[in-house]
Amino acid sequence: MSNQNELSNPIAIRLPRDLLQQIEEIAGLCDRSRSWVMVRALKSYLANEGREILDVAKARGEIEQGDALDFDDVINDLDKTAKGAAA
C-alpha cells in the first residue's frame, strides 16, 4: 500500500525565470520550501484542469467502447417525458 506522503526520486525541471522568482517569493513569505509551493501548485492544477483532461479522456474511451448514449435518443426521450408530464 502506497503512502500518500511517500516522495518520489528527485526530478529536474527548467522554469521560466519569472515563474521561479514568484515561487521563491511565495516560499519566502510562507516560510516554506520551493518544493512545497510547486507541489501545491501542481495539486491545484491536477484537481482542476488536469481532472478535466482525465475525465474527457475517460469519456472518449467509453464512447469508443460503445458505452454511451446517442444524443438524439436522449433528446427524444426528454421530449416524450415532457409531453407526458404536460398531459
pLDDT tens digits for 67-82?
Answer: 888 888 889 989 888 8
What is the C-alpha separation between 35 and 43, in angstroms, rounded? 12
Q: Is the pTM of this model over 0.75?
A: no
Over range 7-15, report the average pLDDT.
93
In this prediction, residue 86 carries a pLDDT of 65
Q: Tell me: pLDDT of 2 over 80.
A: no
Q: CB under 8 Å to 20, separation ≥6 — which residues?
A: 34
pLDDT, averaged across the chain: 90
Residue scoring higher pLDDT (68 or 61): 61
